[in-house]
Structure 1
């Protein structure tokens, strides 16, 4: 198997811990069934991979926010109603470290 050496910029991105906003977690990861741990694992790994892929598209740019999206089943798991979910990954820094924050691109609209 061949391994490709990461650039320093790409290595920095891949070393960032990933954090979700509650809304992004609810829409991208959470499901209503408590018996579907494998589904949660799949959703989590796919979402994190998509976020890293978007951030790595041009690591030298060091953009603070990158948009990405994915198809996923709604939280109720209905296989007949797949949805497109627009997300963004932003590099956030606090006083201790940086992190990759995954959030909804647009906030959910509240029904009246």
Structure 2
């Protein structure tokens, strides 16, 4: 079968017309953006994975896995990661304003 060049963005947009696909895509996209953000913020703080491992007591290998899409850590380890990286979590209702957030 010959390789057919395609437009992946157009393909995704077409598939997002399917409600189940759109919901699954939204979940994965949210996970990806969260991971991307915490990695960026950890690096901006100048904290390496080995340093974060020492601070949190989580192995460096586990930290590395946590920073990959599809490897969901326990909530406890995720909160340890955030704390060790000097980050905090805000929880809010969808569509609410920033001043309605609750710190965790």
Higher helix content, 1 or 2: 2
Give the TM-score, by structure 1 length: 0.30
Relative contact order (alpha carbons < 8 A, sep ≥ 6): 1 or 2 greater? 1
Higher strand content, 1 or 2: 1
